[in-house]
Structure 1
């Protein structure tokens, strides 16, 4: 029974190993941002706002949608890999068939020629020239057979490797299919749960939205988050600059050490050459043989320079929020930035928001699930649920410019992901207790919100 259980255990695919490594590398980033969220909410009661009851459900829906999208991409990639493997398998099969035919033909020709071995030929008493010619022919045939057999053996090994890789790809597809089924089931459950919560909380949410203090708290919460993120980004940029300086100094030290070692080697060579010339002149004067030169001094090893320390997962996480973009890259795009979503602008920056504070960003109405795209290249520095903004994603564009995308149905990109202009980073929705489906969009510089109108082509 134990043996049967061991045999039934599923094999670990390459995808499983890579996925485990990727999840481990995200752990440090998520830990730091989790602490950041707790710090923001420390002075607030999580039960004060009825919308908070939707948080777990809306985050779960976002995670399920993101997983389904990632699984679909993996499935497409794995299917393409399977097609390539099938093509390679067919090519190998054709090659092996041709090689087998060629080997059969060589053996048949060898048999028809008399299948004589070398001993028989040598003892046959036949014409020596004929014997020599036949022996050479047999050597050529043997070499051709050996070469063909080696090639055939290599191709058969390649077929086995191809079959193993194909089986691994099929196992990965089955993993993906099962994960998709699980995620779809989870998604449907969470959607039903969210619908029930919304129905039960709708009147309470309506009352709470009328309170200006709630909107002000949302704005303060966002400002606090942006300030803390800005501080983290600055710290990481300083650390990254220090690391670049250290690497440059290390490279300069190595270059200097190499130049000094080369100069010493040249000096030794020159001294040896001068000594050889002096001994030659002395031998010419005395008529005696030239004295042997002393053994050359061993070349000095290049002076040791401290090896560059290997980057640890923690160090990688520490620079996950900073971006390599130059500080003026985003500002140079003013007036040419694409809209983050296709839809109708329902609220503009500075407009009055009921009885509450003015809008600090823009709200763009769009159907649920509409793609939300990054307006410029950057790095995702926040991707999670936040009270008042639902599923929220923030992108750092360098130069202390941030773009903010709220009320999303699902978040596609994760913290630390690099994005290009036009990349899909989320899907529009009405999370965070928003009544209408769409996207809440903000631009901030040095922590302060500013009007996106002159920057983005809505």
Structure 2
């Protein structure tokens, strides 16, 4: 793992060097998009904490109801015992003993009253224990409610920060788009983005040649037309389509998704890149072994980091608009030995419609 981190570190150093020509606005946009990623992840974790605390609160409430029933039952039993003891009093036992002439009956009578006394003590102790547990449960519920209120307040704060940061991002993106229009044509920018991705993939390939290949139950190559789609959405640009005035061809597919759509790995593998790349935004690259890699771009938040192992169907990111897109989208590629391959040859059927998993 340490060797992997050093090797991937070399890629990140190369990426930093390759992006030194970015304008001040582009650097600001990158920082904002990373902040959005962090805030989204924090809000997601806080919501999970709140859900767990709600579950714990429900369990404590159920236990409180059970203890209340037990206490009511024990209270009634104690009332009966105390009422019986008050009505009979100590004289009742003495009367029986003095009127009894059979020694065997006297012994049985003494044993009975001793048992009755012990039973009463046990009932009182059980009542006290149940009462103590009920008080402890109520205290736990109060503490859990307090933690839940704090967590919900934190979620609200993160959501406000997220909304503010997204607004700032939109303003920065508008300024950036104006700056790009003045500096160069869209075609030149897209061509540069594509070259940058190709250069990154070469760097990644040089590194992963010395990384042990993943060992999935089924090799990637055996799953043509069987793999799940990386997200629910609508394909708006397919593999091989031309863009940038017909000068460039699409090496993958572009999907429009819901704002909260999660991006999932299509196969088992190791994350070899999880960072920002100009033109592709927050980008995840997964190595599946045997020369196969998949790329997932334009995310608003990355759930994994370099070196993580992921399973097929595992959520790795949230779809977004990073990299300059004006709608929530996912850019997806499949590569074999560095060459792009048509995703439709590998993915099963059609993607689920937005809003469905």
With the length of structure 1 as denominator, give the TM-score of the two structures: 0.64
2:235/2:254 contact within 8 Å kept: yes
Could you tell me which residue of structure 1 aligns to residue 14 of structure 2? 40
Evaluate the alpha carbon distance shift between residue 32 and residue 84 of structure 1 in structure 2; reply closer, same or farther with a 3 A threshold: farther
Q: Quick check: 1:36–1:228 contact (8 Å CA) kept in 2?
A: no
2:50 is the alignment partner of 1:75: yes
Tell me, what secondary structure is at the counterpart of 1:131? helix
- One of 338, 343, 356 as aligned partner of 2:233: 343
Q: Is the 8 A contact 1:229 1:381 kept in 2?
A: no
**1:123/1:131 CA distance change after superposition, 3 Å:** closer
2:224 is the counterpart of 1:334: yes
Q: In the TM superposition, what whole-angstrom CA distance separates every residue of 1:379-428 from its partner, at most 9, and x where no partner exists?
A: 55544333221122334545554322101233345666665544444333
Pair 1:30–1:202, CA change in 2 (3 A) = farther
Alignment of 1:108-147 (within 5 A): 108-115=83-90, 124=98, 126-127=100-101, 128-147=103-122
Bigger Cα displacement from structure 2, 211-220 vs 437-446: 211-220
Greater CA deviation, 340-349 or 403-412?
A: 340-349
Does residue 210 of structure 1 match 2:187?
yes
Conserved in 2, the CA contact under 8 Å of 1:106 and 1:141?
Answer: no
Change over 3 Å in CA distance of 1:345–1:408 after alignment to 2: same
Partner of 1:427: 318
Task: Verify the 8 A CA contact 1:216 1:356 in the aligned structure 2.
Answer: no
In the TM superposition, residue 456 of structure 1 has moved relative to its aligned partner by 1.0
Determine whether 1:176 maps to 2:67: no
SS in 2 for 1:114: helix
Report the structure, 1 or 2, having the larger strand content.
2
**Compared CA separation, residues 143 and 190, structure 1 to 2 (3 A):** same
Tell me which residue corresponds to 1:88: 63
Q: Which residue of 2 aligns with 1:189?
A: 164
User: Considering only aligned residues, what root-mean-square deviation do their CA atoms show, in Å?
Assistant: 3.5
Q: Please give the per-residue CA displacement for 1:322-362, whole angstroms capped at 9, x wherever unaligned.
A: x6633x34333221122223334333334444376533322
Compare 344-353 and 334-343 and name the one that shifted more. 344-353
Q: Which structure 1 segments of 5+ residues have no match?
A: 1-27, 238-322
Residue 197 of structure 2 corresponds to residue 219 of structure 1:
yes
For the 8 Å contact 1:47–1:53, the answer to whether it is kept is no
Query: C-alpha distance in 1, partners of 2:122/2:8?
Result: 63
C-alpha separation in 1, matches of 2:58 and 2:116: 38
Q: Partner residue of 1:21?
A: none
- Alignment coverage as a number of residue pairs: 342
Cα 1:87–1:388, aligned 2, differ >3 Å: closer, same or farther? Answer: same
In 2, distance between residues paired with 1:400 and 1:189? 42
Which of 424, 427, 441 is equivalent to 2:332?
A: 441
Alignment pair present for 1:456 and 2:357: no
1:385 aligns with 2:276: yes
Distance in 2 between residues matched to 1:53 and 1:332, nearest whole Å: 43
Q: What are structure 2's unaligned runs of at least 5 residues?
A: 351-357
8 A contact 2:74–2:123 mirrored in 1: yes
Aligned pair partner of 2:295 in 390, 399, 404: 404
> What are the Cα deviations for residues 132-181 of structure 1, in whole angstroms up to 9, with x where unaligned?
22211112212322332343343234324423432332233123212112
Q: Which residue of 1 aligns with 2:353?
A: none
Matching residue of 1:361? 252
Evaluate the alpha carbon distance shift between residue 113 and residue 419 of structure 1 in structure 2; reply closer, same or farther with a 3 A threshold.
Answer: farther
In structure 2, what is the equivalent of residue 307 of structure 1?
A: none
Select the structure of larger CA radius of gyration. Answer: 1
8 Å Cα contact 1:340/1:372 also seen in 2: yes
Query: CA distance change for structure 1 residues 55 and 404 in 2, over 3 Å: closer, same or farther?
Result: same
* C-alpha contact 2:5 2:307 (8 A) present in aligned 1: no
For residues 427 and 402 of structure 1, the distance between their equivalents in structure 2, rounded to whole angstroms, comes to 19
